[in-house]
Amino acid sequence: MDCACMSQMAVVGLLLSLLLANGFAQPQFRGRWPLTEEQKLAVVRYIAPPEGRIATTRTVTAQCTDSDVIVAISPDLLGIQKLVQPSDLSMGGCGVSSQVASTYFVIEAPLQGCGSTVEMLAGEIVYTFTIEYNPSQLDGLPIVRTNPAVVQIECHYTRQHNVSSNPLSPTWVPYASTISAEDILGFSLIVMSSDWSGPSLSNTFFLGDLINLQASVDTTNHVPLRIFVDNCVATPGSNASVPAYTFIGNNGCFMDSKLTGSNSQFMSPRIAQSVIQFKLDAFRFYGLTTNSIFITCHLKVTLASGNIDSLNKDCSYISALNQWSSVDGNDVCSCCDTNCASPLPFRRGSGSQRLRPRRASKWGTPAGWEKTISVGPFFLEAKSPLALAHSSASLDSTFQDSVLGALVGVLAVSCVAVLLLVVYRKAKRTVYTFNKK
């Protein structure tokens, strides 16, 4: 039975109870419209009964269902035989939705609409609505014969169950508490120093360097959250300029290492669930005179207690192993070589394979749980001037050392040759003198 039919049956049941009861006395449902677990009589409180009779005549009654409240109001709201106009009745900005002959006015409102307030008590949840009656002039005359009135309607539900009378999901309370502050999630994307000790003090890098980036989310006053880098694009300008290079894509796959054999990768393990670090092998755009690069990343978070899946992951390609690896240790990276957002195949009976859409999360992606952030510009240089100077100095030093070594070697050989010549001549003279004697 659909919701519209259920709502119509609830209205009919409420009106039948009023007709079968004594005027607007506390209604007693009879016949085929008994109150169910999900349909309870509301608590009616007359806050401002100026005529003094409204509190005893019970001219307002209401019924709470699993998703809304249905209010029946007597035209003689004040119990003084002065009929009120439906246009003078309002419940949190919602007016009369229907009228049964000249006997009842009906207002239907969702539990979380028409100005309702919700209060969490120790054992129950209470939704409160306020009906206001503000009399208008009689037929355009500058007089009225009734005073304003205020009536409160309360719907009470036991805390162990939600309004549909089903057991609460374990994530219901954390989700509600997070959604109430969904607009203040603080995302950040910063460039880190080479040792990850803090933000980088320079925005100039050289080809061959690794650019360290850190994405995080502030979880102050929130349940624990896990952050993911869904995709990252590099451009030479800040205004989505072309060319553009997507180095992280396919819902968290670090494709740069697979495409170019670079050392780009996510850092594993995480230093915290709310932080993800990754490093990008520096590059320049081919054929452009500019050496600036902007990086734009789409970040998103899920509950830290949630499962890692193909849509929420961070995967690096390990060239040595020729395989993908997840930062969070789950085997969810196999789709990085195909399409991680494509439908999952399934079989039913002995029939042919069919496609089943991926199941979305129970709550979907809440607003404020994802954000796109840009950083830059970075300036890429072909080679560090210091490195060039160091290389030149090293070459000069090596050349000088080589020349000096050669000279020392020649000098040493010459000295040895002279010494040998002196010894030879001295020995020759000795032999000559001996033979002469």
Instruction: Note whether 143 and 197 are same-domain residues.
Output: no
Whole-angstrom CA distances from 91 to 13, 70, 119, 132, 358 are 21, 11, 18, 6, 41
User: Cβ neighbours of residue 134 under 8 Å, at least 6 residues apart?
Assistant: 88, 90, 148
Instruction: Note whether 101 and 7 are same-domain residues.
Output: yes
User: How many angstroms separate the CA atoms of 207 and 382, rounded?
Assistant: 6
CATH number at residue 357: 2.60.40.4100
* Better-predicted residue by pLDDT, 151 or 15: 151
Planar angle of CA 139, 143, 144, nearest 5 degrees: 85
Instruction: Note whether 154 and 202 are same-domain residues.
Output: no
| pLDDT band per the 50, 70, 90 thresholds, residue 360 | very low
User: How many angstroms separate the CA atoms of 9 and 24, rounded?
Assistant: 20
* Better-predicted residue by pLDDT, 176 or 72: 72
Q: Please, what sign has the CA dihedral across residues 154, 157, 162, 164?
A: negative
Question: Does the residue 244 lie in any domain?
Answer: yes
Instruction: Note whether 28 and 77 are same-domain residues.
Output: yes
Q: What is the mean pLDDT of residues 388-417?
A: 60
Question: Does the residue 410 lie in any domain?
Answer: no
Question: Does the residue 60 lie in any domain?
Answer: yes
Mean pLDDT estimate for the chain: 75
The residue assigned the tokens 């040595």 is 320
Instruction: Note whether 361 and 242 are same-domain residues.
Output: yes
* Better-predicted residue by pLDDT, 119 or 48: 119
User: How many angstroms separate the CA atoms of 78 and 58, rounded?
Assistant: 9
Q: What is the mean pLDDT of residues 237-243?
A: 77
Instruction: Note whether 264 and 133 are same-domain residues.
Output: no
Which pair of structure tokens corresponds to residue 155? 């719907």
Its domain, for residue 339, covers 182-385
Q: Examine the pLDDT at 273 and tell me if it is beyond 80.
A: yes
DSSP per-residue codes, 120-145: E-SSEEEEEEEEEE-PPPGGG-S--S
Q: Examine the pLDDT at 362 and tell me if it is beyond 90.
A: no
The residue assigned the tokens 């054999």 is 261
Taken as a whole, the chain contains a residue count of 437
Q: What is the mean pLDDT of residues 218-231?
A: 88
Q: Tens digits of per-residue pLDDT, 297-349?
A: 999 999 988 889 999 999 999 988 899 999 998 789 999 999 998 755 544 44
Which of 123, 158, 193 is at the close of a domain? 158
Instruction: Note whether 226 and 343 are same-domain residues.
Output: yes
Which of 362, 385, 408 is at the close of a domain? 385
Question: Does the residue 47 lie in any domain?
Answer: yes
Question: Does the residue 412 lie in any domain?
Answer: no
Question: Does the residue 164 lie in any domain?
Answer: no
Identity of the residue numbered 411? L
**Which phi and psi angles does 9 have, rounded to 5°?**
-65, -40
Question: Does the residue 429 lie in any domain?
Answer: no
Question: Does the residue 202 lie in any domain?
Answer: yes
How much is the pLDDT for 429?
A: 67
Instruction: Note whether 137 and 255 are same-domain residues.
Output: no
Instruction: Note whether 152 and 203 are same-domain residues.
Output: no
How much is the pLDDT for 351?
A: 45
Instruction: Note whether 249 and 152 are same-domain residues.
Output: no
User: How many angstroms separate the CA atoms of 204 and 220, rounded?
Assistant: 33
Which of 158, 193, 223 is at the close of a domain? 158
CATH number at residue 63: 2.60.40.3210
User: Cβ neighbours of residue 147 under 8 Å, at least 6 residues apart?
Assistant: 50, 51, 78, 135
Instruction: Note whether 207 and 152 are same-domain residues.
Output: no
How much is the pLDDT for 99?
A: 82
Q: Which residues of 266-289 are buried (b: 16+ CB within 10 A; e: fewer)?
A: bbeebeebbebbbbbbbbbbeeee
Number of folded domains in the chain?
2
How much is the pLDDT for 157?
A: 83
Q: Tens digits of per-residue pLDDT, 103-139?
A: 788 999 898 889 888 888 777 888 899 999 888 887 7
How much is the pLDDT for 28?
A: 37
Peptide bond into 174 cis (omega under 30): no
Instruction: Note whether 143 and 203 are same-domain residues.
Output: no
Q: Tens digits of per-residue pLDDT, 189-218?
A: 999 999 999 999 999 999 889 999 999 998
